[in-house]
Amino acid sequence: FLAENYRFAKICQDENLIFVGPRWKTIKAMGSKIGSKQMMKAAGVPVVPGTDGGVKSYDGAKKVAAEIGYPVIIKASAGGGGIGMQIVNDEPGLQEAIAAAMRIAESAFGDATILIEKYLVKPRHIELQVLADEHGDAVHLYDRECSIQRRHQKLI
């Protein structure tokens, strides 16, 4: 999607075109799950327990999983669309899932960096939409229920 492409947003800015969306630097930061998680924590926003940076080793991953408890989910930091996500219910499946997630992340995104988070069973996905302009005017566009998903992608 062009709305998620920081290069497109930067070109619009460079050409003095109005881009309806976040600043390009914000889009770029949000392209990394690790970077966006760190940004949210710094802003005081609660985040799902898990690694604050990329997984460096199996032993480190095993320690994090034991601390936060199973099930866990392994995600590609640069990923999107649910690609490469691996749900792990217990320690015996962890090493294989890490290897698979890293392999898929490298192949799909050119970046094998992964993170581990607590897997939330049957979560609700509610989005709040707000539209604002450069003058500080903002309007709330209500919320939307996005919990009905298939392969970590919204269906409705």
| pLDDT on residue 152 | 66
DSSP the chain: -GGG-HHHHHHHHHTT---SSS-HHHHHHHTSHHHHHHHHHHTT----SB-SS----HHHHHHHHHHH-SSEEEEETT--TTTT-EEE-SGGGHHHHHHHHHHHHHHHHS---EEEEEPPSS---EEEEEEE-TTS-EEEEEEEE---EETTEE--
Residue ranges of domains in the chain, CATH in brackets = 58-118 (3.30.1490.20), 122-156 (no CATH)
Task: Report the predicted TM-score, pTM, of the whole model to 2 decimal places.
Answer: 0.79
pLDDT tens for 17-75 read: 999 888 999 898 888 888 889 889 999 999 999 998 888 888 989 999 999 999 999 99
